[in-house]
């Protein structure tokens, strides 16, 4: 372990200069983990966070409960990363979910595992995760400064020498950039890191929304807005009719289209809106195969022979869906049940087993749980998170061109890359000291 260098404070022309071993930009999941790791290794660390408090996004994770990781082996984590999983292999293997759990339990946060391996604090309070990290930052003497970083400082050789913020300049021997993506900007992640990384030579893959509600074509979804369906099965097909996603769960119709857990997960598999078009088939009766559903329809129609078809549908579907289904089948609502033909019954059955919604596109990035795209990973060392473009720079978290499905995997990426970057930055100082 290194001997910690004391922070040095000086003023020039009214500007404040703080000198540290390492500056971490961004007090989110990745940045806090990087700062703690570097401090553990004996570095003096300054954490720059634009908000008054660290971890603002963490408060809203997992609907305020924080799905902190997924209780699975590293290989399963990587299977849940559709983009650049290989890049994460080293970081996730060295700081896998098991180690993340042990880390938080070591800080006194008791955890529990729910359906699908999702790990939460036992208290169901995301605040417990943030408090534990904050207390540990204080214990390890990480200095937290409220300022918004604007640019990275470099010397004539392109080595990173510090950070220029809105309120001062900060000198350091290494900088970890962990400013997050561009989703939920009210939490502080407005995409600043992309500009700072690009200015020192990094390529930025265009940020795109993932785990995001979906806008639908036509008026039908809007007519059913507010309707939540539990236990439906969906299939997503691309324009070549290839199934890109199939799952069962809960969804919601909204004024613009579709939302709810199942739709957010589905969106992560629609990765090529530029080139492809997608549609969704919703199985409204997944517990019944076609034969059983047909028997059920026959029974309902014969038991209600003299009632209007509209009323029969109300026994089969949520009320808000009935007008839409009637319109799609083309069967007038006042048709008597005993007059419904075999062909019309078939048409209804096909609709119930495959209610089609054409997807217009994802909702804006501001509404996305996670940002896909970001700093090109081939320009970053996967073991240390060191920039291959700007010596002295390390990158971590959602800023990188990696993103995962739901289930605690995105935070797992933030913890693991934050850990690797903090360690990489600290070790880089040992190496330069050794060379001196």
Ligand X SMILES: Cc1cc2nc3c(=O)[nH]c(=O)nc-3n(C[C@H](O)[C@H](O)[C@H](O)COP(=O)(O)OP(=O)(O)OC[C@H]3O[C@@H](n4cnc5c(N)ncnc54)[C@H](O)[C@@H]3O)c2cc1C
Which residues contact ligand X by CB under 6 A?
A: 25-31, 48-51, 56-57, 60-62, 66-67, 148-149, 178-180, 183-184, 188-189, 192, 369-370, 397-399, 408-411, 414
Between 253 and 409, CB nearer to ligand X: 409
C-beta separation of 187 from 31 below 8 A:
no
Q: How far is the CB of 283 from ligand X (least distance, A)?
A: 27
- CA terminus-to-terminus distance, the chain: 17
Q: How far is the CB of 273 from ligand X (least distance, A)?
A: 20
Q: What is the DSSP string of 369-394?
A: SEEEEEE-GGGB-TTT-BBSSSTTEE
Q: How far is the CB of 370 from ligand X (least distance, A)?
A: 5
How long is the chain? 436
**Residue 335 DSSP one-character state:** S
Q: Cα separation of 142 and 84, whole Å?
A: 32
Between 63 and 242, CB nearer to ligand X: 63
The Cβ-side half-sphere exposure at 371, using a 13 Å CA radius, reads 27
Token pair belonging to 339:
């007059």
Question: Between the CA of residue 61 and those of 56, 125, 409, what are the distances in Å?
Answer: 9, 10, 12
**Residue 70 DSSP one-character state:** E
Between 165 and 257, CB nearer to ligand X: 165
Cβ atoms within 10 A of the Cβ of 10, count?
10
Q: How far is the CB of 195 from ligand X (least distance, A)?
A: 9
Between 399 and 416, CB nearer to ligand X: 399
Q: How far is the CB of 166 from ligand X (least distance, A)?
A: 9
Q: How far is the CB of 414 from ligand X (least distance, A)?
A: 4
Between 340 and 413, CB nearer to ligand X: 413
Between 77 and 234, CB nearer to ligand X: 77
Cβ atoms within 10 A of the Cβ of 401, count?
23
């Amino acid at each position: 372990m290194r001997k910690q260098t004391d922070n040095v404070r000086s003023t020039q022309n009214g500007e404040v200069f703080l000198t540290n071993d390492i500056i971490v930009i961004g007090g989110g999941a990745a940045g806090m983990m990087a700062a703690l790791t570097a401090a553990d290794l004996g570095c003096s660390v300054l954490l720059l966070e634009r908000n008054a408090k660290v971890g603002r996004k963490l408060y809203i994770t997992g609907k305020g409960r924080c799905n902190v990781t997924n209780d699975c082996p590293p290989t399963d984590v990587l299977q849940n990363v559709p983009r650049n999983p290989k890049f994460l292999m080293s970081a996730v293997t060295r700081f896998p979910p098991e180690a993340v759990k042990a880390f938080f339990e070591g800080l006194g946060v008791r955890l529990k595992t729910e359906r699908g391996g999702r790990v939460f604090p036992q208290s169901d309070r995301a605040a417990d995760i943030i408090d534990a990290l904050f207390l540990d930052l204080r214990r390890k003497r990480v200095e937290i400064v409220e300022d918004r970083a604007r640019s990275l400082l470099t010397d004539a050789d392109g080595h990173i020498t510090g950070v220029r913020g809105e309120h001062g300049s900060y000198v350091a021997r290494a900088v970890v950039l962990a400013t997050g993506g561009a989703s939920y900007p009210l939490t502080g992640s407005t995409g600043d890191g992309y500009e700072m990384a690009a200015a020192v030579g990094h390529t930025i893959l265009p940020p795109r929304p993932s785990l995001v509600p979906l806008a639908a074509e036509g008026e039908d979804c809007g007519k059913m807005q507010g309707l939540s369906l539990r236990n439906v099965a969906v299939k997503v097909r691309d324009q070549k009719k290839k199934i890109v996603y199939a799952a069962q769960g809960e969804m919601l119709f909204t004024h613009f289209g579709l939302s709810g857990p199942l739709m957010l997960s589905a969106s992560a598999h629609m990765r090529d809106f530029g080139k492809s078009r997608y549609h969704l088939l919703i199985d409204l009766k997944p517990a019944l195969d076609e034969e059983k559903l047909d028997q059920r329809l026959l029974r309902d129609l014969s038991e209600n022979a003299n009632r209007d078809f509209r009323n029969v549908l109300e026994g089969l579907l949520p009320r808000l869906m009935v007008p839409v289904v009637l319109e799609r089948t083309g069967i007038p609502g006042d048709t008597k049940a005993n007059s419904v033909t075999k062909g019309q019954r078939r048409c209804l059955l096909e609709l119930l087993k495959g209610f089609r919604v054409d997807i217009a596109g994802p909702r804006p990035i501001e509404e996305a749980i996670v940002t896909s795209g970001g700093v090109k990973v081939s320009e970053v060392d996967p073991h240390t998170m060191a920039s291959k473009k700007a010596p002295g720079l390390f990158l971590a978290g959602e800023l990188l061109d990696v993103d995962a499905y739901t289930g605690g995997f995105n935070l797992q990426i933030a913890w693991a890359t934050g850990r690797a970057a903090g360690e990489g930055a600290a070790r880089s100082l040992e190496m330069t000291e050794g060379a001196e």
